[in-house]
Structure 1
Amino acid sequence: MKKLLYVQSYTILLFTFSLVKSTQAQMSLQGQVRTRTEVRDGLGNLAKLGTKAAAFTSQRTSLNFGYRWDRLTFGVNIRDVRVWGQDASSINNADGSKLFLHEAWGEIILANASDTSFKNKAFEHLSLKIGRQELLYDDVRLLGNLDWLQQGRRFDMALLKARKRGWQIDVGAAFNQSSDAFGRTGTFYVAANVPSTIANSKGDYVSLPSDFVPTTSKGGAPLLASPLSTNGQNQMFKSMQMVYLSRKFGNTKFAGLFFKDDFQKYRLDSIGNASNGIVYGRRYDVNGAHSRFTYGAMLTGLLNPLAKKLGKITWQAFGYLQQGKNRDGQALSTFHYGANVSIQQGRLSIGPGYELLSGNNTLTPDGKDHRFDPLYGTPHKHWGYMDYFYVGTGSAAGGLANAFFKTKYTVNPNLYFTLDFHHFALANDMKNGLDASAGKLNRQLGNEVDCIMNYNLNKFTNLEVGYSFLKGSDSLEYAKLGTIGQTKRRAHWAYIMLNIRPDFLTTKVTK
């Protein structure tokens, strides 16, 4: 009840502010209702033999308030995410809620060259953005808001943003804690969304301590893979520091990134005993953290000399390294590189590309972790729309080689079609643990085709219809699930998404 009253009061306050007229400030208020109806038969992982396709509708409802003054920018995004039918038509207090605060930040303007009232002239623009916020950089490959996911992604952090002589320099930092309760000591951090109870080895449900993350459930079935990807899974850093640097030189843009994230150390522990039931897990009560360093650069450009003959040509090349230690304390030595080209002629654009994310050679391990983790980006945009890699369903230990060809045809400003093809393979050799005589797995994982139609019904409403097909191999099944011959080889996924985003302060009502 208190939460409901708080939300109602806050919403009324936002509408009240939006009605205030001021010549010195600008306010915005946008809403969003985004529904996505899906039919899934192998999305994220190959489906088991004999299983039926799943179908459901999910919905994101959002209210975004913004305020801009010459020395302050302010933003709040309240978001609700649910699956249709997930709640009964009449719910009680025990059902809980999925209403959450997606963004809430303030940005203080410290310098502005176009405003003579500022005494600070060292920067053309300097500001401090603090609070819950999204990170959006370059093609959201490593840092993005994961907008395809209804919940999205955001960070609680401080971000200092500066511009000087064409350079953009962003410096960010975050420090996460699980609670601010009285009596709490130390800075131990549990980097996961942990249930309050779990079934032990005997099938009885037991309560979990606040600093304990279970790794096995009833029968010893693993709950957490190791090492865990931070991208799209329920893992979070204890602290992070980042520096982003970019500048445009003619038709070429340079963007460099340094990102350090630190993970709380833990020790292996258990709850209960073998006779009455036991749960194995990780206890996050060890001083110190494991630090991971990711750094590299991206170049994007436009080839004007060839534009008259071939059309508009854009290109991209990038390379990143990852060193330090993963969240389990294992030494890291990884890399990620790739390049792609897009040729646009009239309404049609086409483009090939290739990228590689390093992985472990499980035939001859050397004690280091060679799996590149693409940080906190938007995997859905880069590694196939069926989300088989670097999302919540995990990724292959052998890494990923992705050769792709993308096409887009624009019918008019309101309608376009895309057709993408991906060929997936392992970046490194993996041992076939089910067949010793076979030695290693075939590196070929499979092929995926993604088809999209995108249409703007009106100024505030967009309709997107998609279909994807994946033909997987035995290697894909083993790399993802540890089995061979127990899943369907062909996966299908289709969806219809309606996105309604009205701007309440600029919409004119007409008869």
Structure 2
Amino acid sequence: MKKGYKLFILVVLSIQFTNAQFTLDGQFRPRTEYRNGFQTLIPDAADAGFAINTRARLNAGFETESFKVYLSLQDLMVWGENPQIVPIDANNSFSVFEAWASLKLGGNWSTKLGRQVLSYDDQRFFGGLDWAQQGRNHDLLMIKYKGAQFIMDFGLAFNQDLDENGGPLFGFQNQSTAYPAGNPFQYKTMQYLYLNQKWSGFSASFLAVNNGYQNFDDAGEADGVNSTFTLGTHLNFKKGSFGAAANAFYQTGSFFTGLDVDGAYLLGLDLSYKASAAVNLGIGVELISGDDADTADKTEAFLPTFGTNHKFNGFMDYFYVGNHVNSIGLFDIHASANFKLGERSSLFAKVLNFSGEQDLPSGENALGTEVDLVFTQKFKGYSLKIGYSHLFPSDGMYELKGVAEADAADNQNWAWAMLIIKPKFFTTAKPD
């Protein structure tokens, strides 16, 4: 063991004498939550949930003139999940969150391959899902072009079952255990193209994504791939105190369940105004198509598959966060304000009104109103965030979530507090 420590120290010290940069940093992020209506309506007879969990990450990067390697290890720990003394990890949560290498190909071209985070624009379709303690990553190969004002990313992914020796079992269509049907996040193949052009005060992005999901026959054997194709754009404008951002997405092909997708779409517009040095205001609207239920073999419901959906449609996650898939869609009108309370503190407030893009079987489509509050206090080297959300459900929300109004709790709310510490352990000078 002592030899191992000595070897590690020698490697770290030797980096100082090489033409390379080495960084070692981490993150310690405990969060406590009180859930009394989070994601779904809580019945009056049910007790509220309360738990504390922690995300711990250790990140290491090594960069030379010709390549960069990055490794991020993480563990998610629910307080009290492991029995004392017994040496086990109850939820098997330790994982390699990122592990990739970037090779410089000359000029503005490079390639990036391995496990990595995909995050573009406002994260509406591709996001790192940083709110979730586990985050989201992808195993893929990316070809990158980065100019002064133009960016292009082209990504390719192929996921395969492995045998006990770590190799392909047989063929290219086997996906019987690792990537079962019915999970929109576990794709078999993916190809995507992302383009972004910036001008003075304005930027425009274009995204085309093709996801292939493993299909299975009646015997449960892999039988080809269903493909969902998504096409979209993100526009961003800023002039003086005024800002505007718009999203437009269109989906076709086959849903991950095998249903045909018939013209699904997402449209969004957000306007912002900096009223003063201490106050920022916002107002916006988003329309997401839903299934009109006319036919059983197709759907018109849009799915923002890999987005950081917690950022949109309310922090209580009633829509598109493990729920509301292939449902009645959503019409979301919202207004927000961010108040700077001091040099290191701020308060964010947002009000959202929800209704279905289609009517429910009863004819209702009003779903309710949500209020979100987040207080942030920054300290030297760390920060604290405290949040509270309250839902005022309409009749349609009770019907949508399958909870009778008479049986539901009077208050549907959620509160949380999160400490964020990002220590920087070691950094060498960047190579010339």
| TM-score past 0.5 threshold | yes
Q: Which residue of 2 aligns with 1:155?
A: 138
CA offsets 1:412-449 (integer angstroms, 9 cap, x no match): 342111001110110112324xxxxxxx2x11111111
Q: 1:445 aligns with which of 344, 352, 367?
A: 367
Q: Which residue of 2 aligns with 1:119?
A: none
* Alpha-carbon separation, structure 2, partners of 1:396 and 1:444: 18
Judge conservation of contact 1:177–1:189 (CA < 8 Å) in 2.
yes
Structural mapping, 1:303-314, within 5 Å: 303=239, 307=240, 312-314=241-243
* Alpha-carbon separation, structure 1, partners of 2:264 and 2:316: 25
Q: Which residue of 2 aligns with 1:252?
A: 202
* Alpha-carbon separation, structure 2, partners of 1:104 and 1:328: 30
Q: 1:487 to 1:65 in 2, by over 3 A?
A: same
1:426 aligns with 2:356: yes
> In structure 2, what residue type is equivalent to 1:480?
K
* Alpha-carbon separation, structure 2, partners of 1:13 and 1:470: 56
> In structure 1, what residue type is equivalent to 2:289?
S
> In structure 2, what residue type is equivalent to 1:185?
F
Q: Which moved more, 1:385-394 or 1:286-295?
A: 385-394
1:321 aligns with 2:247: no
> In structure 2, what residue type is equivalent to 1:330?
L
1:106 aligns with 2:101: yes
Q: Which residue of 2 aligns with 1:185?
A: 170
Judge conservation of contact 2:303–2:325 (CA < 8 Å) in 1.
no
Which secondary structure state, in structure 1, belongs to the residue aligned with residue 398 of structure 2?
helix
Query: How far apart are 1:148 and its partner, in Å?
Result: 0.4
* Alpha-carbon separation, structure 1, partners of 2:302 and 2:194: 20
Where structure 2 has 5 or more consecutive residues not aligned to the other structure, the ranges are none
Which secondary structure state, in structure 1, belongs to the residue aligned with residue 400 of structure 2?
helix
CA offsets 1:78-134 (integer angstroms, 9 cap, x no match): 00001100111122458463111000110001113xxxxxxxxxxxx1111000100
Judge conservation of contact 2:292–2:299 (CA < 8 Å) in 1.
no
Q: Which residue of 1 aligns with 2:62?
A: 67
Judge conservation of contact 2:129–2:135 (CA < 8 Å) in 1.
yes
Q: Which residue of 1 aligns with 2:265?
A: 335
* Alpha-carbon separation, structure 2, partners of 1:60 and 1:9: 30
Structural mapping, 1:125-144, within 5 Å: 125-144=108-127
* Alpha-carbon separation, structure 1, partners of 2:4 and 2:272: 46
Where structure 1 has 5 or more consecutive residues not aligned to the other structure, the ranges are 113-124, 194-210, 214-227, 270-282, 433-439
CA offsets 1:246-275 (integer angstroms, 9 cap, x no match): 101221100000011000001346xxxxxx
Flag the structure with larger Rg. Answer: 1
Percent of aligned positions with the same letter in both sequences? 29
Q: Which residue of 2 aligns with 1:414?
A: 344
Q: 1:465 aligns with which of 386, 391, 411?
A: 386
Q: Which residue of 1 aligns with 2:285?
A: 354
* Alpha-carbon separation, structure 1, partners of 2:228 and 2:369: 32
How large is the Cα RMSD of the aligned pairs?
2.5
Judge conservation of contact 1:396–1:479 (CA < 8 Å) in 2.
no
Judge conservation of contact 1:191–1:237 (CA < 8 Å) in 2.
no
* Alpha-carbon separation, structure 2, partners of 1:40 and 1:151: 19
Q: Which residue of 2 aligns with 1:115?
A: none
Judge conservation of contact 1:42–1:493 (CA < 8 Å) in 2.
yes
* Alpha-carbon separation, structure 1, partners of 2:210 and 2:406: 41
Q: Which residue of 2 aligns with 1:31?
A: 26
Which secondary structure state, in structure 2, belongs to the residue aligned with residue 59 of structure 1?
strand
Q: Which residue of 2 aligns with 1:299?
A: 235
Q: 1:484 to 1:417 in 2, by over 3 A?
A: closer
Q: Which moved more, 1:326-335 or 1:485-494?
A: 485-494
Query: How far apart are 1:166 and its partner, in Å?
Result: 2.5
Report the TM-score when normalising by structure 2.
Answer: 0.91
* Alpha-carbon separation, structure 1, partners of 2:178 and 2:334: 34
Q: 1:464 to 1:171 in 2, by over 3 A?
A: same
Judge conservation of contact 1:409–1:416 (CA < 8 Å) in 2.
yes
CA offsets 1:167-213 (integer angstroms, 9 cap, x no match): 211000110113243582233214767xxxxxxxxxxxxxxxxx7x7
* Alpha-carbon separation, structure 1, partners of 2:360 and 2:22: 55
Q: 1:286 aligns with which of 185, 203, 222?
A: 222
